[in-house]
Amino acid sequence: MIGVISYLVFFATTASILAIAVLGLNLQWGNTGLFNGGVVAFFGAGAYGTLILGGTPQAGHLGGFELIYPLALLGGMVLAGAMAWIVGLLTLRLRHDYLAIATFGVAVAFENLMRNAEWLAGGAKGVRGFERPLRDALGDGFTYNLIFFAGVLCVLICVYLFLERLVASPFGRLLRAIREDEEAAQSLGKSPARVRLTAFVTGSVILGLAGGLYGTFYAFVSPQDVLPTLTFQIWAMLIVGGAGNNRGAILGAFLIWGAWTASGWALSRFAPVEAQLYTGSVQFVLIGAVIVGMLLWRPQGLFPERLVVSQTGITPQKEQGA
Amino acid sequence: MPDPILAAEAVTAGYVPDLPILKNVSLAARTGQITLIIGPNGAGKSTLIKAVAGLVHINSGRILVAGREITGQSADRLASNGIAYVPQNNNIFRSLTIEQNLTLAARRAPAQTGVPLESLYAQFPALADKRRDKAGTLSGGQRQFLAIAMALAAAPRLILMDEPSAGLSPKAAQEVLEHARTLTAEGVSILLVEQNVNQAMRLADHCYIFAEGRNQLDGPAAELLNDPVVGEIYLGGRRVGAA
Amino acid sequence: MQNLIDGILTGSYISLGAIGLTLVMHILRFANFSHAELLSIGAYAALVCDALVSALTPAFAAKLGPLSLTWSLMAAIVVSMIFTGLSAVVLDRLVFKRVREKGAELSMVFASFGMALVIRNVIGLIFGLSPELYSKDIAFAVVLSRDPLLLVKPDQVFVLLAALLLMLILHLILSRTTFGFSLRAVAENPALAQVNGVNLNRTIMAVWLIGGALAAAAGVFYGLSHQIIPVMGRDLVLPIFAATIVGGIGSVYGAVLGGFIVGIAANMSVLVLPAGYTPSIPFLLILAVLIMRPHGLFGEARA
């Protein structure tokens, strides 16, 4: 019994961490209309940053600053945010494709760098030597996992509340205005590029937070954790759940992660031995099909964006004939 | 009485389906004449031209060419209906040479009745000299003439012109408008939108005055030329309800 | 110097891939992340066709001179170009057109991500994951000079010449034929092109056909110099995008120049950086272009 619960806790922890990432992406795409083609790079920056800043000194690569955990996590988030700021500054005034390509390039370059720069982050061997917070007090067992899960859940709820308030705030209205009609917003004196940059960096910081938590959970990160696969998974979660809707985003995370692990388990269980090599391919085809299928069938997601009414008591009137 | 070359009947149209700019507009352009549309900014003059050209969505109403309905056809069908369109801005391809612009324009003529380039060069000698230059290097006036030449390349029976004199010196503007007059002498009909009210009204046959998306008034251009009602409509003093 | 030569050869197939992409990006206004998969489709289609032709007419299995190419492979390249061009049109009809009609342009970028995944892995499921080669023979390099040591394989020369030939043909089409004018017209101003009688849907179809055909050639050329693996598209996405950005989105000549720049830069980079960093070079080029000249060498902001 404990085994099943233990597995569920494990599953839910990962799903929650990914849900935080999806929320960050939702801010970028759902609320602001920005295409982040390299989600995994910001996620990875958070993970690597946290582990390097908070870990014990390791022979052969940078690290071991042994900062206290909250600082290490913050460091990871700042790293993600800085990357986002540079990329955003260069591309956000140009057509939207540039951001997509540039972020995709960032992801490629990030993985490439982490894989090759042994002096920086251990190369293919990854970053080890990270002490999970409160490990001394709570040990390594089921109790720890449960408490960690509770912690992650808290962070998820906090991020959710933060974003919900953001969407209802003047800044959120500004984001929507820019998304709907940029010229009108510009005429009001708002700088769309700067607003978008803020949204992009904030979203990326949240991605970094998720990455930091992920690295903490496994106490290890390697280039294998920053492959484009993760970008596709997080995108699929957002598309399925509903872009623009934070609750949908969280649900999408759990749904897709559940489907991914379930399909992985089913394939390894039922597929013949010779075909085991191809289970990955099948999963990729499925996720690609889910992405394309959702876009064709229900692009707004399972839980479409709810219209936010910023002033209660006033319902929009249909325009009378002029 | 033969059909007008172009007739718009109760056309309501706009760039966005929920926001019509033209409201219930009716208009007729007679064959072999210059029909002029004038009016204050935002009156919907260009929008009507674009609706005829198939570039703007028509919510209701009909467009007929010589009695045949063409409502809702896409813009690439213009030539097969014998219509050519000279937009106000961006009316030539800057990255192509004059010759390439004209060749492209001539090719769309239905059943190869296109005008041979040499005859176009004879009409517009300034273009002939620069035929291998990229159109982007031309002056404003020369670009207008190229745009008109491109319109003529498919031997149209009706040309839609949207403010052809915009941005031109008074002399160049006069040349363009007078050239329009000579075209009608050859049997081509012209539907003309202009801000250059005085010059245009002297050359036009019939004139429509638009304001706020509706046809406020129309009549022979010579009569309206001296009618103070024109100024009133421009200044907003006089409005007609649903036509 | 050897790196420069290798760079030029790499550049030739990146250029071919970039031409199709830059046209699609400009006319349809979306970054097609699945374009690189057209190279894979082309490479595999040629593989299949080559095997078929060789089996049906053994005489065609003879090699052309010093090249490792056989007559059947040459025929296969042509067939593959047609097949891949048609595949591109089909993919557009099935997926991109429908997404286009439903709304946001950005959804198309999305959809292209998904399509890339599907295509790449379906190829893997059909053909298996191990690398393939067009010819099992070892190709011997010709020594161009001994000092500095310059080696060139006859296949590589063929690839360069063939690529240049294809580009020349495209150039002639664009600068001499009315169809070429109509393509450039649509790239510059689609509404005005329509007004001048150009049918947009047919032009879009032509763009996919040309892009797909060139991509197929690029895929085969890549396969001649490297191996053919199902995920070859994944490694080509960024270099091809970099080429379009360097050259300027919408400019065919820019794409050609950009492709060679990317190829040369990537190959010359090993002189200063360890070889493992080569995949990042296209990204650095993109950054450089965005900082110095965002619209690329020949690009302009679209009207």
Residue C103 has pLDDT above 90, yes or no: no
The predicted model gives A244-262 an average pLDDT of 89
**A290–chain C nearest CA distance, Å:** 8
Inter-chain residue contact C195 with B94, CB threshold 8 Å: no
Residues of B with CB under 8 A from a CB of A: 18-19, 23, 212-213
Can you say whether residue B16 is alpha, beta or left, with left for phi > 0 and alpha for psi between -120 and 50 degrees?
beta
- Between B73 and A1, where is the model more confident? B73
- Between B19 and C118, where is the model more confident? C118
Inter-chain residue contact B23 with A319, CB threshold 8 Å: no
Interface test with C, best of B94, B100, B131 (most C CBs within 10 A): B100
Is the preceding omega at residue C148 within 30 degrees of 0, hence cis?
A: yes
Segments forming the whole domain that contains residue B162: 4-242
Predicted local confidence at residue A318, as pLDDT: 38
> Which residues partner with B13 through β-bridges?
B22, B58
The residue type at B132: R
DSSP secondary structure string, B138-195?
S-HHHHHHHHHHHHHTT--SEEEEE-TTTT--HHHHHHHHHHHHHHHHTT-EEEEE-S
Inter-chain residue contact A319 with B213, CB threshold 8 Å: no
Q: CB of A51 within 8 A of CB of A65?
A: no
CB contacts of B154 in chain C (<8 Å) are 197
Residues of C with CB under 8 A from a CB of B: 178, 181-182, 184-185, 188-189, 191-200, 303
Per the structure, the count of domains in chain B is 1
CB contacts of B44 in chain A (<8 Å) are none
Instruction: Return the minimum-mean-pLDDT range out of A297-301, B201-205, C5-9, C276-280.
Output: A297-301
Predicted local confidence at residue C15, as pLDDT: 94
- Whole-number Å distance between alpha carbons of B118 and B124: 10
Inter-chain residue contact B212 with A322, CB threshold 8 Å: yes
Which positions ≥6 away from B104 have C-beta within 8 Å?
B93, B96, B150, C178, C181, C182, C185, C196, C198
The predicted model gives B57-74 an average pLDDT of 88
Q: CB of C72 within 8 A of CB of C60?
A: yes
Inter-chain residue contact A109 with C95, CB threshold 8 Å: no
CB contacts of A285 in chain C (<8 Å) are 117-118, 121-122, 125
Q: What is the C-alpha R_g of chain B?
A: 17
pLDDT in tens, B79-128: 888 899 999 888 999 989 999 999 998 887 665 566 788 888 888 888 88
CB contacts of A289 in chain C (<8 Å) are 114, 118
At B202, list the tokens. Answer: 């002297």
Is C274 a domain residue? no
Predicted local confidence at residue A245, as pLDDT: 83
Question: Is the CB of A1 inside 8 Å of chain B's CB atoms?
Answer: no
Question: Is the CB of A316 inside 8 Å of chain B's CB atoms?
Answer: no
Inter-chain residue contact A292 with C120, CB threshold 8 Å: no
Let me know the angle formed at the C-alpha of C99 by C95 and C105, rounded to the nearest 5 degrees: 125
Segments forming the whole domain that contains residue C157: 15-229
The predicted model gives A238-250 an average pLDDT of 86
Residue A317 has pLDDT above 50, yes or no: no
The position carrying tokens 């049109």 is: C89
Inter-chain residue contact C111 with A295, CB threshold 8 Å: yes
> Which residues partner with B75 through β-bridges?
none
Residue A321 has pLDDT above 60, yes or no: no
pLDDT band at A320 (very low <50, low <70, confident <90, very high): very low
Query: Residue B216's closest CA among B202, B199, B230?
Result: B230
Question: What is the three-class DSSP state of B45?
Answer: helix
Give ipTM to 2 decimals: 0.87
- Whole-number Å distance between alpha carbons of A213 and C51: 52
Is C182 a domain residue? yes
CB-CB: which of C192, C196, C303 is closest to B108? C196
**C2–chain B nearest CA distance, Å:** 38
Phi (first) and psi of residue B155, to 5 degrees: 50, 60
Inter-chain residue contact A284 with C31, CB threshold 8 Å: no
Exposure on the CB side of residue A82, measured as CA atoms within 13 A: 9
Question: Is the CB of A319 inside 8 Å of chain B's CB atoms?
Answer: yes
The position carrying tokens 């496994």 is: A218
Inter-chain residue contact A109 with C284, CB threshold 8 Å: yes
Q: CB of C38 within 8 A of CB of C212?
A: yes
Q: CB of C118 within 8 A of CB of C221?
A: no
Inter-chain residue contact B18 with A322, CB threshold 8 Å: no
Instruction: Describe the strand order of the beta sheet including B57-65 as a list of residue ranges.
Output: B22-29, B6-14, B57-65, B68-69
- Whole-number Å distance between alpha carbons of C66 and C152: 12
Inter-chain residue contact B108 with C184, CB threshold 8 Å: no
Chain C neighbours, 3+ Cβ pairs < 8 A: A, B
- Whole-number Å distance between alpha carbons of B173 and B203: 12
Question: Is the CB of A277 inside 8 Å of chain C's CB atoms?
Answer: yes
Nearest CA in chain C to B82: C197
Inter-chain residue contact C198 with B85, CB threshold 8 Å: no
Chain B neighbours, 3+ Cβ pairs < 8 A: A, C
Nearest CA in chain B to C298: B95
- Whole-number Å distance between alpha carbons of B25 and B101: 34
The predicted model gives C172-199 an average pLDDT of 91
Predicted local confidence at residue A211, as pLDDT: 93
Per the structure, the count of domains in chain C is 1
Inter-chain residue contact C280 with A109, CB threshold 8 Å: yes
The predicted model gives A270-284 an average pLDDT of 80
pLDDT in tens, A105-139: 999 999 998 888 877 777 777 777 677 776 666 66
Inter-chain residue contact B23 with A322, CB threshold 8 Å: yes
Inter-chain residue contact C118 with A288, CB threshold 8 Å: yes
Question: Is the CB of A112 inside 8 Å of chain C's CB atoms?
Answer: yes
Question: What's the CATH number where B127 sits?
Answer: 3.40.50.300
- Whole-number Å distance between alpha carbons of B218 and B191: 14
Tell how far CA C147 is from the center of its chain.
34
Instruction: Return the minimum-mean-pLDDT range out of A25-29, B163-167, B235-239, C264-268.
Output: B235-239
- Three-state SS for chain C is CHHHHHHHHHHHHHHHHHHHHHHHHHHCCCCCCCHHHHHHHHHHHHHHHHHHHHHHCHHHHCECCCCCCEHHHHHHHHHHHHHHHHHHHHHHHHHHHHHHHHCCCHHHHHHHHHHHHHHHHHHHHHHCCCCECCCCCCCCCEEEECCCCEEECHHHHHHHHHHHHHHHHHHHHHHHCHHHHHHHHHHHCHHHHHHCCCCHHHHHHHHHHHHHHHHHHHHHHHHHHCCECCCHHHHHHHHHHHHHHHHCCCCHHHHHHHHHHHHHHHHHHHHCCCHHHHHHHHHHHHHHHHHHCCCCCCCCCCC
- Whole-number Å distance between alpha carbons of B79 and B109: 6
Residue C283 has pLDDT above 80, yes or no: yes
pLDDT in tens, A35-66: 898 999 999 999 988 888 877 766 656 666 66
**B12–chain A nearest CA distance, Å:** 12
At C54, list the tokens. Answer: 């060789």
CB contacts of C114 in chain A (<8 Å) are 232, 287-292, 295
Instruction: Return the minimum-mean-pLDDT range out of A183-187, A312-316, C47-51.
Output: A312-316
Predicted local confidence at residue C100, as pLDDT: 83
Inter-chain residue contact C188 with B55, CB threshold 8 Å: no
- Whole-number Å distance between alpha carbons of B143 and B94: 9
pLDDT band at C300 (very low <50, low <70, confident <90, very high): low
CB contacts of B212 in chain A (<8 Å) are 322
Is C112 a domain residue? yes
Nearest CA in chain C to B56: C191
Nearest CA in chain C to A238: C110
pLDDT in tens, C12-31: 999 999 998 999 888 888 88
**B133–chain A nearest CA distance, Å:** 30
Nearest CA in chain A to C286: A102
Average pLDDT taken over every residue of chain A? 82
**C107–chain B nearest CA distance, Å:** 21
